[in-house]
Amino acid sequence: MRLAILILAAVTLERGVELVIAERNTRRLKAAGAFEVGARHYPLMVGLHAAWLLALWALAWDRPVQLVLLALFLVLQAGRIWVLATLGGRWTTRIIVTPAAPLIRRGPYRFMDHPNYLVVVGEIALLPLAFGLPWLALIFSALNATVLALRIRTEDEALGRRLDPPSRQANLRL
């Protein structure tokens, strides 16, 4: 079996497992009084990631793999695991606000507000590059930047990072 197929299968499986975990955590958090913000743009983000994976399956399954870039992609997976381990049951793929819970400031969150998005930015660029598809990396990186700009703004507002409380309440419907 080709190495490219094994890599794509592993990434697809990883994303599937993450969606199951995220959905379980989302249901549990909402049952405990948390609420979702930014639900309208969530399908856009899911669609982008699904299109990225589908494009990789369509274009990269039979391509040679540049091992140095693959190694960098694997390093990013350590970052992803660090983020998930730090957030534990609060990790989801949605923006879920738990009003009584303090913001997490340990693990990678000691250094930045959105370490998972940094990992995703790297993944979306590196995996196509590892398959010798720079134009695919560029297209999906640009699309991802657009989605992340909206998502980060929405998340920051929901968590009270940038707006005063009256303005924040008015913007929670995003």
Helix (H, G, I), strand (E, B) or coil at 91: coil
Token pair listed for 9: 């299968």
pLDDT of residue 46: 96
Residues of the chain with pLDDT under 70: 1, 161-174
Domain span at residue 107 reads 3-171
Mark out the alpha helices in the chain (DSSP H runs): 3-31, 42-60, 67-87, 115-130, 134-158, 165-171
pLDDT at 166: 45
pLDDT on residue 163: 43
The CA distances from residue 160 to 97, 139, 155, in Å, are 10, 32, 8
Q: What pLDDT is recorded for position 160?
A: 84
CATH of the domain at 111: 1.20.120.1630
Could you tell me if 158 and 39 are in contact, meaning their C-beta atoms sit under 8 angstroms apart? no
Instruction: Give per-residue pLDDT as tens, 3-38.
Output: 999 999 999 999 999 999 999 999 999 999 999 999
Helix pair angle (67-87, 3-31), 10° resolution: 10
Task: Please give the tally of structural domains in the chain.
Answer: 1
